[in-house]
């Protein structure tokens, strides 16, 4: 999906379709990086 969206990206976790529960550490790590990148204007 991320390759079909302009400026798309993805986070790979060890979870299933509910990664925020199955692999919360990996999911939120990726989410925090994304939020920081957007906040700093680094998200390309």
The answer as to whether 4 is a domain residue is no
The answer as to whether 11 is a domain residue is no
> The domain containing residue 26 runs over which residues?
16-44
CB within 8 Å of 42: residues ≥ 6 apart = 36
Place of tokens 């993805």: 10
Mean pLDDT of 5-22: 82
Measured CA to CA, the distance from residue 22 to residue 33 in angstroms comes to 19
The answer as to whether 9 is a domain residue is no
pLDDT in tens, 14-36: 888 888 889 999 999 999 998 99
The answer as to whether 10 is a domain residue is no
Domain count, the chain: 1
- pTM, entire model: 0.70
Query: Do 19 and 13 form a contact (C-beta atoms < 8 A)?
Result: yes
């Amino acid at each position: 999906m991320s390759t079909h969206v302009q400026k798309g990206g993805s986070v790979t976790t060890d979870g299933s379709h509910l990664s925020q529960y199955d692999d919360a550490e990996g999911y939120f790590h990726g989410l925090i990086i994304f939020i920081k990148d957007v906040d700093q204007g680094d998200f390309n």
